[in-house]
Amino acid sequence: MTRTKKNGNPATMTRKAMAIASLFAFGLATGPLAQSDEEEADRPRVNTQMHGDAAGAPAPDPDTIIVPETLSAPSYFGQIAFEQNCASCHGENGAGGTGNGPPLIHPIYEPGHHTDGAFLRAAMAGVQSHHWNFGDMPAVEGVTEEMVVLIVSYIRELQRANGIE
């Protein structure tokens, strides 16, 4: 289906439709990139053509994630909510490695690319797969907007501790 601007001109695609078409036209929504290091080749990657070199970093080794010794109060409660609602897909401390969802402690999820609102929309309404090949993310049943705000606080503190700002 071609999305059009309000003027009804079907030849004029919206920016979002063009971006999606570009992803598929150039194969950017496909599998991990080949790596020379066998250990890193098993960890999923994001294609760098659209998102820059930092986005091409492999999913982190879960054992290398730096967890702050002390979390802020919102992040403390966010960690609890994350473990109950998100870790089964996004891994312990957001490191991925479950085979069911991407790592959130990765440069592609830095605040300038995935805003806090993007996390909120994904949890509340679900999101189509667009960076990784884990399939679409369904809405997370039972979470509230307030819970997601706490979860995002936790994710952002983890990201900062791991050099993602």
* Residue 101: C-alpha distances to residues 4, 25, 43, 74 (Å): 32, 24, 12, 24
Per domain, the residue ranges of the chain are 62-161
What average pLDDT score do residues 50-56 get? 60
pLDDT at 99 over 80: yes
56 versus 23: which is more confidently predicted? 56
Selecting from 1.10.760.10, 3.40.190.10, 1.10.10.10, 1.20.59.10, what CATH number does the domain 62-161 have? 1.10.760.10
pLDDT digits (tens, 9 = 90+) for 55-81: 667 778 888 999 999 999 999 999 999
Distance CA 81, CA 20 (A): 32
* Residue 119: C-alpha distances to residues 9, 72, 124 (Å): 33, 19, 9
Q: Give yes or no for a contact between 139 and 130, defined as CB atoms under 8 angstroms apart.
A: no
Nearest 10 degrees: Cα torsion 71, 67, 121, 2: 160
pLDDT digits (tens, 9 = 90+) for 113-164: 899 999 999 999 999 988 888 899 999 999 999 999 999 999 999 999 999 9
Q: Provide the 8-state DSSP code for 111.
A: T
Predicted local distance difference test score (pLDDT) of residue 52? 58
DSSP string computed for 5-50? -TT--TTSB-HHHHHHHHHHHTTTTS-PPP-SSHHHHTS----HHH
How many helices (H) and strands (E) the chain has is answered by: 7, 0
Ranges 41-50, 69-78, 100-109, 128-137: which has the least confidence: 41-50
Q: Provide the 8-state DSSP code for 53.
A: G
29 band by pLDDT with thresholds 50, 70 and 90: very low
Percentage of residues in the chain having pLDDT higher than 70: 66
Nearest 10 degrees: Cα torsion 90, 15, 51, 151: -30
pLDDT at 16 over 90: no
